[in-house]
Structures are given as structure tokens and as C-alpha cells.
Amino acid sequence: MARNKKEKDLDLAPSRYEKKGPGQYVLGLCLGLYTLFCGLPILLVFIAAFTDEKAIAQNGFSFTPAKWSLAGMNSVLKYGKQLLTSYGVTIFITVAGTMVGLLVMSMFAYSISRKEFKLAKFLSIYLLIPMLFSGGQLSCYIIFTSVYGLKDSFLLLILPLCVSTMNVIILRTYIVNSIPSELMESAKIDGAGEYRTFFQITLPLMKPSMAAVGFMMATVYWNEWQNALLYIKSDNKKPLQLLLVNIQKSIEVLLNNANVPASARAAMGGSIPQYSSTMATVIVVIGPIMVAYPFFQKYFVKGLTVGSVKG
């Protein structure tokens, strides 16, 4: 595949000389409409979170609510302690998972990128097979819970997602294509050991690819709900996404059973979790990724591209 000439503008086409004719404005209009299609649903979350609960109950969701209110945001505090705990859990899993993953994957990528290392070939194949064949959800569930005896454990939220073939390939491709091997060789001639060469020469140079892979991994960890739903039982280990799933489930239960006793309602925080407070919770859950993303966009667009160029 042709290498891109303009590395700097990888994410967008090089600006050619072009006339800004009427066609451009039509195109702009279409793109604008599509942008709205992507952006409006997210905007609705924000609007609904600040809409008065009664207004939603009477008139439904709206982009132009009859009455604004901070009550939804305030009632997020109702989940108070659980929300805080879940936030902590999600942050811990995201940070720990991304760090551990980046470290072990970049070490693995470095090892299999060494030409003089004969075992590398076997390791590459070993890396590739899980992409082709997997045990599937059920095997994983049975093996993790009954063979390893892991249940309700952070390990199950972190380790299964930690090493992914595609990410190792991206890192390896970056090492092969963008870090001159002369650097590593000269470090060795100067007397640096293997580990020192990797940690002090190679690892710092891998930053751009690590930023890309790291951001993608962090997103995966942040958004992970399936393993949490399968394995996590206790409240103090619930990540945010599982909290969202639980909120939805409890709404459903209450809606489907009109005769839920008042005591049960009281136990769930006084009332049915409501529209605006639910949306406020959604904001709390998706907020950090949306704030972080524009800063990483550059890297992650590059990372995607790097990964597609085979080394």
C-alpha cells in the first residue's frame, strides 16, 4: 500500500486548489445534515437531563422543553454513593487495564519485531490464532467461573480485554516502520542491555502508536458492560455501565408491575428512576470519553492508519 506522503495531514485530504462553487455549498449542506444526525441525539441527552421531570412526563422528550430544571442533575446525587463507587471502579479498570495492556502488548510487539529472534515466528502465529478462533462466550463463562473459580473479580474485567491481536499488530507495525533499528543496535553497542534498550530507547519512541492504542483500549474498558453483567455481583465492584444497565432493569420492573409495594419503591430511592435523572446519569457516564476524545483524535486517526499499513 502506498505510504502517505503528507504525514501531517493524514486525517484530512491535502487541500487541493478548488473552486468554491455552489456545489461546495450543497455538499456542505449534506455534510451538515449528517453531522446533525450524529450530534442531535447526544444533544438530546443534555437537554433532557436539564428538563423539568413533569414536562417530560406530560409532553414527552423535546429539543425545546417547556420548562428547564436542575432537578435531574441534582437527583443524580441520589444514587450518590453507588455512583461514586462505580465511577471509582470504572476509572480503576480503565487505567489499570490500559496501562497493563499497553505494557505487555508493547513488550510482546517489540519481541516479535526482532529479526534475529527465531522464536518470533512462532509467537506471531500464537498471537494470530485467537483472532481466527475463539471459544465463544459460553466457554469463557464456564472456564472463568468454574475452572478458575473467578467470580465477582476485577481480574475478569481487566485481563480478558487486555491483549488484542489487532492492537499488537498496530504496535509492531509502528516499531518496524517508524523506529530505525539502528537506534536499538547502537544502544546495544554502547552497552545497554536488552531491557534497558527497550525501556529507554524503544518505548519512549512508541508514544504516538501507544496514544492511539491506549485511547482505543481506554474506550473499550470504559464502555465494557457485558463481562460486568456476567461476572460482577457485589455493589462495590459495579462499573458505571453496569449501573446504567441496572437502572434500566429497575425502571422496567417498576413499569411492568403497577402493584409494586410502596416499600419496594422507597427502597429504590423514593420513586421510579425518572427520565431526566436517568439522562443526567447517562451524561455522567459518557462525559469523560467525550471530553477526552478531541485531544486524542489526532493520534487515534493516525493509529488507525498505521495499523492498516502492513509491516
Partner 1 sequence: MKGFFANTWKHRAHVVMALPAFLILLFFAYIPMGGLIMAFKQYDYTKGIWGSPMNGIDNFKFLLASKDTFLSMTKNTLFYYVIFTGVGTFLNVVLAIAIDQFVFKRVAKTMQTIMIIPVFISYAAVQFIVYAFIDTRSGIINQMLGSNIRFYTTAALWPWILTIVKMWNSVGYGSVLYMSVLAGIDSSLYEAAEIDGANKWQQIKHITIPSLVPMITVMLLLSVGNIMRSDTGLFYQVTRNSGQLYKTTQVIDSYVLNAIFKNSNFGFVAATTFFQSVVGLLLMLFANWTVKKIAPENALF
Q: Which of residues 250-269 bind partner 1 (CB under 8 A)?
A: 252
Residue 204 is placed in which grid cell? 519512549
Residues 202-221, interacting with partner 1 (CB under 8 A): 219
Question: Are the CB atoms for 103 and 211 separated by under 8 Å?
Answer: no
Q: Which is nearer to partner 1, 134 or 271 (CB)?
A: 134
Which of 85/171 has CB closer to partner 1?
A: 171
Instruction: Identify residue 8 by its one-letter amino acid code.
Output: K
Binding to partner 1 by residue 42, rule CB under 8 A?
A: yes
Q: How many CA atoms lie within 13 A of 290 on its CB side?
A: 10
- The angle that helices 165-178 and 275-308 make with each other, rounded to 10 degrees, is 40
Task: Tell me how far, at minimum, the Cβ of 132 lies from partner 1, in Å.
Answer: 5
Q: Supply the minimum distance, in Å, between the C-beta of residue 17 and partner 1.
A: 8
The phi-psi region of residue 47 (left if phi > 0; otherwise alpha if psi is between -120 and 50; otherwise beta) is: alpha
Residue from 60, 191, 204, 261 binding partner 1 (CB under 8 A): 60
In the list 67, 68, 126, 185, the residue contacting partner 1 (rule: CB under 8 A) is 126
Nearer to partner 1, 266 or 308 (CB): 308
User: Element (H or E) spanning 217, and its range?
Assistant: helix 207-223
Of these, 69, 177, 178, 305, which contacts partner 1 (CB under 8 A)? 305
For residue 141 the three cell numbers come to 463463562
Interaction between residue 66 and partner 1 (CB under 8 A): no
- Sole binder of partner 1 in the list 61, 87, 92, 154 (CB under 8 A): 61
Position 233 contacts partner 1 (CB under 8 A): no
Burial environment of residue 292 by CB neighbours within 10 A (0 to 12, 13 to 18, 19 or more): middle
Cα separation of 249 and 235, whole Å? 15
Residue 79 lies near partner 1 (rule: CB under 8 A): no
Three cell numbers, residue 37: 444526525
Cβ atoms 122, 205 nearer than 8 A:
no
Shortest Cβ distance from residue 265 to partner 1 (Å)?
20
- Give residue for cell 420548562: 67
Binding mask 134-173 for partner 1 (x = CB under 8 A): xxxxxxxxxxx-xxx----------xx-xx----x-----
Verify binding: residue 181, partner 1, rule CB under 8 A.
Answer: no
Which of 10, 71, 83, 205 touches partner 1 by CB under 8 A?
A: 10
Helix (H, G, I), strand (E, B) or coil at 51: strand
Pick from 232, 302, 278, 239: nearest CA to 94: 239
Angle between helices 22-49 and 275-308 (to 10 degrees): 140
Is residue 9 at the binding interface for partner 1, with CB under 8 A as the rule? yes
Site for partner 1 in 96-125 (CB under 8 A): 103-105, 107-108, 110-112, 114, 116-120, 123, 125
Nearer to partner 1, 126 or 266 (CB): 126
Cβ closer to partner 1: 91 or 163?
Answer: 163
3-state secondary structure of 68: strand
| 3 state SS of 258 | coil
Q: Rule CB under 8 A: say whether 310 interacts with partner 1.
A: yes
**Residue closer to partner 1 (CB basis): 185 or 266:** 185
